[in-house]
């Protein structure tokens, strides 16, 4: 099981000149692709107007490295073509902006040199690319990683960085025993109940501030109402951040029921659901889990409330339907186990998560897609 993240590392300034030369080549290829595509769509003759594929573009630029004095290497020429075609498709235009190499121009395009998987090699604190040994500040210990595709990027101060995707093996952090994984049942009364019996309920703040909010609303103090709303939102966000961080630190696998918050928000429980901020909680768990190589999965929670987590039966004594909503504790008449309604549900979610893990279904789903090289985002999520 694996996931991919992008590392951003600063390149030593002495390589700026070589980088700029390569960036100029990339710009030339880009502009050639831009012009060729545009002409193909706008020529005044009987020949069909065609959208060129990345493959077409690669054929058209195949001789660049030999004939046009391009120094950047055939692979990067190809990657530039691919990126151009992808961008054009997304833009739904016939033409993209030119890439400007003149540093004095106000339209100057910050240097960008994409590379394919396998084009970058790491050795003794340096990376080797296109025949160059490039020194960098290795803040991540690159030798630990398998380097994939990425790009070199210039910032507005003329500094250069390499953004490179690396594979992170989730297997490194195997689940030692049952206690290292957790099932989470999301509910209306208690926001999250855990299979180990714990729970998380940040909604109390809202209740406490609700009175103040009511008073302010009746007095029509708009500023005050806004301020209270903002305060509630902040407190809730903080609490959820703290809780999700702690959960990810403590567990190697986290399974959450796939309750549909939107469907429930349409019912009379709307306020509670909104209050509970399930999606914030789930999303944070998800991205923090990916970042820390923790397995995260949403599992089908159908019947998780009604099934006995001890014997797996659907006993007659289970909490059923609307009438069952009020039942907090129940006893399984099949095996005699006494259940807290929500903890039982969380245990069933955990068991289903484990079953899927054993079935190997998670392998393909825990991956995070590789970002396009030029859209590389560094670890903190900051857009370059
Ligand atoms: Zn039972």
Residue 314 alpha carbon to ligand 1 centre in Å: 8
Residue 190 alpha carbon to ligand 1 centre in Å: 24
Q: Among 240, 198, 195, which residue's Cα sits nearest to residue 350?
A: 195
DSSP of 189-211? SSSEEETTS-EE-TTHHHHHHHH
Instruction: Kindly state whether residues 64 and 135 are assigned to the same domain.
Output: no
* Domain count across the chain: 3
Residue 101 has a CB neighbour count (10 Å cut-off) of 18
Instruction: Kindly state whether residues 64 and 196 are assigned to the same domain.
Output: no
Residue 201 alpha carbon to ligand 1 centre in Å: 28
Residue 285 is part of which domain span?
Answer: 181-378
Instruction: Kindly state whether residues 80 and 155 are assigned to the same domain.
Output: no
> 288 in a domain, yes or no?
yes
Residue 296 alpha carbon to ligand 1 centre in Å: 28
Residue 351 alpha carbon to ligand 1 centre in Å: 14
DSSP of 293-320? T-EEEEE--TTTTTS-TTT----TTS--
Give the separation between CA 121 and CA 117, rounded to whole angstroms.
Answer: 10
> 124 in a domain, yes or no?
yes
> 249 in a domain, yes or no?
yes
Helix (H, G, I), strand (E, B) or coil at 277: coil
Residue 313 alpha carbon to ligand 1 centre in Å: 6
Instruction: List the shell of residues around ion ligand 1, using CB closer than 5 Å.
Output: 308, 310-311, 313, 332, 334-335, 337
Digitized pLDDT (tens) for each residue of the chain, 384 residues in all: 456 667 788 999 999 999 999 999 999 999 999 999 998 888 776 777 788 898 999 888 888 877 777 788 888 999 899 889 988 887 778 899 999 999 898 899 989 999 988 889 988 889 999 889 999 988 778 888 888 888 898 988 888 988 887 776 654 444 444 347 899 998 877 889 999 899 998 766 667 777 888 899 899 888 998 888 888 888 888 889 999 999 988 888 899 988 766 666 566 555 555 555 788 898 899 888 887 778 888 888 888 888 998 888 888 888 877 666 778 888 888 888 889 999 999 999 988 888 777 654 443 333 333 333 333 333 333 333
Residue 323 alpha carbon to ligand 1 centre in Å: 20
Asked if 276 and 188 count as a contact pair (C-beta separation under 8 A), the reply is: yes
Residue 320 alpha carbon to ligand 1 centre in Å: 15
Phi-psi region of 172 (alpha: psi -120 to 50; beta: other; left: phi over 0): alpha
CATH code for the domain in which residue 338 is found: 3.30.420
> 144 in a domain, yes or no?
yes
Asked if 81 and 65 count as a contact pair (C-beta separation under 8 A), the reply is: no
Residue 278 alpha carbon to ligand 1 centre in Å: 29
Residue 10 alpha carbon to ligand 1 centre in Å: 59
The side-by-side arrangement of strands in the sheet containing 126-129 is 120-123, 126-129, 132-135
């Amino acid at each position: 099981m694996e996931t991919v993240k992008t590392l951003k590392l600063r390149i030593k300034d002495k390589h700026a000149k070589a980088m700029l030369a390569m960036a100029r080549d990339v710009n030339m290829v880009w502009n050639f692709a831009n012009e060729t595509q545009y002409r193909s769509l706008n020529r005044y003759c009987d020949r069909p107007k065609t959208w060129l594929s990345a493959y077409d573009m690669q054929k058209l630029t195949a001789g660049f490295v030999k004939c046009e004095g391009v120094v950047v290497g055939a692979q990067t020429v190809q990657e530039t073509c691919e990126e151009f075609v992808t961008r054009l498709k997304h833009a739904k235009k016939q033409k993209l902006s030119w890439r400007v190499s003149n540093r004095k121009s106000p339209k100057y395009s910050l240097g960008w040199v994409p590379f394919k998987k396998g084009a970058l090699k790491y050795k003794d604190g340096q990376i080797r690319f296109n025949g160059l040994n490039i020194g960098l500040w290795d803040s991540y210990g690159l030798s630990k990683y398998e380097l994939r595709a990425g790009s070199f990027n210039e910032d507005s101060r003329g500094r250069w960085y390499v953004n490179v995707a690396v594979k992170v093996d989730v297997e490194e952090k195997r689940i030692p025993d049952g206690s290292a994984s957790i099932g989470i049942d999301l509910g209306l009364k208690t926001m999250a109940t855990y299979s180990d019996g714990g729970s998380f309920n940040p909604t109390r703040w809202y209740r406490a501030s609700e009175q103040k909010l009511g008073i302010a609303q009746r007095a029509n103090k708009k500023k005050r109402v806004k301020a209270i709303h903002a305060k509630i939102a902040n407190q809730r966000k903080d609490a959820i951040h703290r809780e999700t961080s702690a959960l990810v630190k403590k567990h190697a696998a986290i399974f959450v029921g796939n309750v549909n918050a939107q469907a429930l928000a349409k019912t009379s429980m709307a306020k509670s659901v909104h209050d509970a901020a399930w999606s914030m909680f789930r999303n944070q768990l998800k991205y923090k889990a990916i970042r820390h190589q923790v397995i995260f999965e949403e599992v089908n929670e159908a019947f998780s409330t009604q099934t006995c987590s001890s014997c797996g039966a659907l006993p007659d004594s289970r909490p059923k339907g609307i009438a069952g909503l009020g039942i907090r504790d129940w006893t399984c008449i099949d095996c005699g186990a006494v259940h807290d309604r929500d903890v039982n549900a969380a245990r069933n979610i955990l068991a289903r998560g484990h079953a899927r893990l054993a079935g190997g279904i998670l392998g393909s789903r825990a991956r995070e897609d590789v970002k396009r090289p030029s859209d590389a985002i560094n670890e903190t999520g900051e857009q370059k």
